[in-house]
Amino acid sequence: MSLTVPASHSFLTTDEQNVDLFLTLPELTVSQAAQILDLPEDGILELLKIGVLEHRQDGTQHLINGDKLLEYKQRRDRGRAMLDEMAREDQKMGFY
């Protein structure tokens, strides 16, 4: 799967003159968000409906805050990793 998302860049220079690159995503369409989260578009619309993802509406199009989407994805992925680890520990201990 490939996804092309335009991004803006900002630079931060430290005392040591190292440059860190911070990637910020613009607003994304439902289709782009679905690709990033590997969900069907209906799943994204449901997340918008219940207020999980920050967005605005421009006519009939939902535009999702890209930075907030990435924050949600990181939280979701961390939660899944913790559940996977718990399941592995349960299996080791013979509970599962």
| Alpha carbons 41 and 32: distance in angstroms, whole number | 9
Alpha-carbon torsion 20, 26, 31, 33, what sign?
positive
More confident residue, 57 or 13: 57
How far, in Å, are 4, 7, 36, 96 from residue 25 at the CA level?
Answer: 11, 5, 12, 41
Q: pTM of whole model > 0.75?
A: no
Q: Which residue has the higher pLDDT, 8 or 93?
A: 93
Per-residue model confidence as pLDDT tens digits over 24-76: 678 999 999 999 999 999 999 999 999 999 999 999 999 999 999 999 999 99
**29 neighbors 43 (Cβ within 8 angstroms):** no
pLDDT for residue 17: 60
Q: Return the pLDDT at 95.
A: 79
Q: Is the pLDDT of residue 2 over 70?
A: no
The listed CATH number (2.60.120, 1.10.1660, 1.10.3470, 1.10.30) that belongs to domain 8-90:
1.10.1660
